[in-house]
Structure 1
């Protein structure tokens, strides 16, 4: 196979346009490569709502069987349900067919091994790619078996455990708008709602791979208006939106205002450290000042690590970290096999609002004023590396620190920035934050954008 056909192999998953970058033949080869390289006995497979996903899953399952693997078909589900099934049932691996928040003509695969340990470019993806390029894809003598099974009931019970010994008893009867964006979250939210005292107001809850209301990616400002309006119209205390495979969760306060995931990281870290003093908390390098300050003040140890779910999970295991959070709204939990969950996080925020009696705007308001941010700004550029070097040339001489954990981070007395290339899309990503200075934030953001544009 031509190496050009493997453009979908990224840093921590497989993702690309269908059929240009990813097609049924390549999915079959990936399944055979996974079986040959890792020799698993049993693997679970799930898929999202994209129109190509059921066929991709069918071909993938057949390929794993041809490679001698027994397969548990989870059907349509969220990525974290594949993680849960893998670690809770002791499977040797799991594969989720999803392209998360990418455009609807994309698809991909997220792969994990035993214990839901991520498989990425550093520990297996490159080996799979090499097997495919060299056609080293043996068919096993024994064909694996396949069965359909759902672990959703056990998964829901596991989610509710994060509410602690008191469970739902002390939760307030809030009104919460839930917007799955026609992704996979709708059925899970409906099941959770049966156990909770809140009133869930669902919008766009029906899974629909045509994405009639746009691709579910609440990080895009144009996708937030529907949730904002629903919060205001229903006088809700909270609005929640998810991406397509619901491993990311986004919040809107009682005024319908979008709350950057960065501030949620600090909020959860502080809450979790109250019952786990001294624990390590991981965060990504894009925005850091608020998280470091909150974690340190709460007696925890903040640890910066590379952006991306596979890298975050690996480092969490190394540090035995309690919790990890990314500003992109990925939240990782030790008791969830160090995996990310878009469901645990909103249950914890709901619990925190109930316990304090405070609205979300007050829980994060002071932190937002103390460390205002630009929000992640994405730009397509012809030469991303040249653009990054241009920014460094303009600013680095005045920096008090420059680090390269992921892309380039430059820190100054009153502001800092991170500029990096996306691991999953052909984009340059910029984040800027200041110390309580919105005017400086606007000035520096405009200056950097002028250079890269």
Structure 2
């Protein structure tokens, strides 16, 4: 039996199978989630369940379904799906949902992402703790269990994704998508099937053992195959999806990757063309260029903490049309504020089609600064070290929206504590790579006591 505390994280359930997460736990978690959904929403009669291609998903999802039906709630099983397909189902059908996936983690992991009806997020402070505690103490089965039925929602999802662009503007661009044996292998061909693009899919087989490379495109080494293939075949765009296909990283025709900030800025400008004056959310480790682009396009930038539950909450509070994270999550108001790598991909392809220029040129106005990337440093006392850094840079503008952000005028940084490890995460931006290196060394000397 695994440890509930070790697998209930800030935004989802995740752990290695079976030592941290096993079918017995998933059965109790299913019952607890059914109770939680009824507690939050009243008369809930159905929970939607989906899974990715990991081998352990079949048994874990089946146990979860037993727990939900044992609590007297029906299950609509949509089978293999990307996470954004599950969010679509929860929005379109206005029902709570559970997605079995461990996203970009290695094959031995699995997990569960939850949402309430309308794809509303469930995080640590909005239900995960309650579900954890209820599951740990055991749930009671009712006399009349719920029923399990199946449904195929992929065609409806495809039509929904297509609705975010003007299909008539799309040009026959060459696209290479590396789906890394993840769920992109299901949804990418379906979305592109009736579009004018020339699509090549790398590693399309659904294989949760990830035989070619990890489905973690934020790591540069996992983009090597895609970058080489884009250049080899003369493609206009490369798309790299993670395991559950909710995130996407872009590669231009020269094989050079785009940061999540650059893609956020490109998509934000497109969204503002359709929604003049709209609010656009960006998390606080995005490049300063993102807020600048939003203002230049007539929009109102709104900063958010890092993490999907925070982005979605701020979107709901502000009515924002779009939100982007540096980690390559892209959220759309008209997608029930849920993130979708597929929608973001089509929006960028529409921009390329209309602009009639290569992505290497299209990206240029959106890339204005040099960035460090996220640098992790092990520290003894996270809070004490952060206060030491704050004092050292007391002459700069500071805020504590998420960790410590310091703006020194021509350079800035954010320092955030990890929720699970004794780490501080540093993101720093300046005008040049040389300035970045200098300032990173300066800040890290404070972190390490050097």
Q: Indicate which of 405, 410, 415 corresponds to 1:414.
A: 410
Q: Residues 84, 41 of structure 1: CA spacing in aligned structure 2 closer, same or farther, 3 A cutoff?
A: same
Deviation at 1:418, TM superposition (A): 1.2
Q: CA separation in 2, counterparts of 1:234 and 1:264?
A: 23
Q: Residues 340, 55 of structure 1: CA spacing in aligned structure 2 closer, same or farther, 3 A cutoff?
A: same
Q: Residues 5, 308 of structure 1: CA spacing in aligned structure 2 closer, same or farther, 3 A cutoff?
A: same
Q: CA separation in 1, counterparts of 2:421 and 2:184?
A: 23
After superposition, the C-alpha distances for 1:138-157 in whole angstroms (9 at most, x for unaligned) are 21221000012110000001
Q: Residues 96, 381 of structure 1: CA spacing in aligned structure 2 closer, same or farther, 3 A cutoff?
A: farther
Is 1:295 matched with 2:290? no
Q: CA separation in 2, counterparts of 1:148 and 1:423?
A: 37
Q: CA separation in 2, counterparts of 1:50 and 1:408?
A: 37
Q: CA separation in 1, counterparts of 2:178 and 2:424?
A: 28
Q: CA separation in 1, counterparts of 2:195 and 2:418?
A: 38
Is 1:396 matched with 2:398? no
Name the residue aligned to 1:118. 121
Name the residue aligned to 2:282. 283
Deviation at 1:424, TM superposition (A): 6.9
**What are the within-5 Å matches in structure 2 for residues 7-22 of structure 1?**
7-22=6-21
Are the equivalent residues in 2 in contact too, given 1:287–1:431 (CA < 8 A)?
no
Name the residue aligned to 2:41. none
Name the residue aligned to 1:147. 149
Are the equivalent residues in 1 in contact too, given 2:4–2:136 (CA < 8 A)?
no
Is 1:83 matched with 2:87? yes
Q: CA separation in 2, counterparts of 1:158 and 1:268?
A: 17
Q: CA separation in 2, counterparts of 1:61 and 1:67?
A: 10
Q: CA separation in 1, counterparts of 2:354 and 2:115?
A: 36
Name the residue aligned to 1:371. 369
Is 1:53 matched with 2:53? no
Deviation at 1:127, TM superposition (A): 1.1
Are the equivalent residues in 2 in contact too, given 1:330–1:341 (CA < 8 A)?
yes
Q: Residues 241, 381 of structure 1: CA spacing in aligned structure 2 closer, same or farther, 3 A cutoff?
A: farther
Q: CA separation in 2, counterparts of 1:255 and 1:381?
A: 39
Query: What are structure 2's unaligned runs of at least 5 residues?
Result: 39-43
Name the residue aligned to 1:162. 164
After superposition, the C-alpha distances for 1:389-440 in whole angstroms (9 at most, x for unaligned) are 45435x42232x1112222211111111112234577754321111x32211
After superposition, the C-alpha distances for 1:114-158 in whole angstroms (9 at most, x for unaligned) are 1111111222111112213333x1212210000121100000011
Are the equivalent residues in 2 in contact too, given 1:287–1:432 (CA < 8 A)?
no
Deviation at 1:193, TM superposition (A): 2.2
Q: Residues 356, 215 of structure 1: CA spacing in aligned structure 2 closer, same or farther, 3 A cutoff?
A: same
Q: CA separation in 1, counterparts of 2:37 and 2:83?
A: 21
Instruction: Provide the secondary structure at the position in 1 that maps to 2:110.
Output: strand
Are the equivalent residues in 1 in contact too, given 2:4–2:132 (CA < 8 A)?
no
Name the residue aligned to 2:263. 264
* Total equivalences in the alignment: 443
Q: CA separation in 1, counterparts of 2:171 and 2:59?
A: 43
TM-score normalised by length of structure 2: 0.94
Q: Indicate which of 84, 89, 99 corresponds to 2:102.
A: 99
Q: CA separation in 1, counterparts of 2:408 and 2:355?
A: 35
Q: Residues 317, 204 of structure 1: CA spacing in aligned structure 2 closer, same or farther, 3 A cutoff?
A: same
**What are the within-5 Å matches in structure 2 for residues 44-443 of structure 1?**
44-91=48-95, 93-135=96-138, 137-164=139-166, 167=167, 169-368=168-367, 370-379=368-377, 384-393=382-391, 395-399=392-396, 401-423=397-419, 428-434=424-430, 436-443=431-438
Q: CA separation in 1, counterparts of 2:280 and 2:137?
A: 42
Q: CA separation in 1, counterparts of 2:210 and 2:107?
A: 7
Name the residue aligned to 1:448. 443
Are the equivalent residues in 1 in contact too, given 2:180–2:215 (CA < 8 A)?
yes
RMSD: 1.9
Instruction: Provide the secondary structure at the position in 2 that maps to 1:430.
Output: strand
Instruction: Provide the secondary structure at the position in 2 that maps to 1:409.
Output: strand
Q: CA separation in 2, counterparts of 1:422 and 1:105?
A: 23
Q: CA separation in 2, counterparts of 1:235 and 1:429?
A: 37
Which 10-residue stretch deviates more, 382-391 or 438-447? 382-391
Q: CA separation in 2, counterparts of 1:123 and 1:209?
A: 30
Q: CA separation in 1, counterparts of 2:360 and 2:236?
A: 10
Are the equivalent residues in 2 in contact too, given 1:316–1:338 (CA < 8 A)?
yes
Name the residue aligned to 2:32. 33
